[in-house]
Structure 1
Amino acid sequence: MVDFSKRFVLFHTEGCHLCEIAQGMVAQESVDYHHKDICDDEQLAEKYGVSIPVFYDSLNNKELFWPFEQNDVQKFIGA
């Protein structure tokens, strides 16, 4: 189950180099977010398995799929 107590979720998995890059981008924006390993949830693994990292906005039900740049993250969070 995904924790939606925070508006933003970064879907990732262990050992994913692109996910580490995405996490760094999100961290630069000082946005409060939760990160969720898709391997902990069969439905998420099926949905995002080949697409991670994915940055998700639970308030607006929007997804930002990789590849994205820093300015894409800024636009996505409304910075």
Structure 2
Amino acid sequence: MKVTLYSKVDCGLCEKAKTVLQELQREFSFEVEEIDIYKDDRLLEKYQLMIPVVEIDGEEIEYGMIHKDVIRKRLLHKLNG
């Protein structure tokens, strides 16, 4: 399972999202790829006002304020197919 976090430097909400994902990694086995949207013009245009954005297996799950329960439910759904 691939979890991607779109973020930027000096982003308080991004730091909170990272913490949520780190906590969930204790329950679920997944790697997090963090991508700085300022290093890709296409991503900057797409996500500039939305970050942080959490994506699981290519599907955008949540953005802005990231809620642990929302991500947990989606991870469980992905695991149980």
Range into which the TM-score falls when normalised by the shorter chain: 0.7 to 0.9
Match of 1:20 in 2: 15
Greater helix fraction, Structure 1 or Structure 2: 2
Moved over 4 A (4+): none
Q: C-alpha offsets along residues 28-53 of structure 1, whole Å, 9 cap, x if unaligned? A: 11131100000000000000001000
1-structure distance, mates of 2:39, 2:54: 17
Gaps of 5+ in 1: 1-5
Match of 1:45 in 2: 44
Paired-residue identity, %: 23
Bigger drift between 34-43 and 24-33 goes to 24-33
The one-letter amino acid paired with 2:17 is A
Matched ranges for 1:1-79 at <5 A = 7-30=2-25, 31-59=30-58, 61-78=59-76
Residue 64 of structure 1: how far off its partner (Å): 1.6
TM-score, length of structure 2 as denominator length: 0.79
SS at match of 1:34: strand
User: Which structure has the bigger radius of gyration?
Assistant: 2
Cα RMSD (Å): 1.7
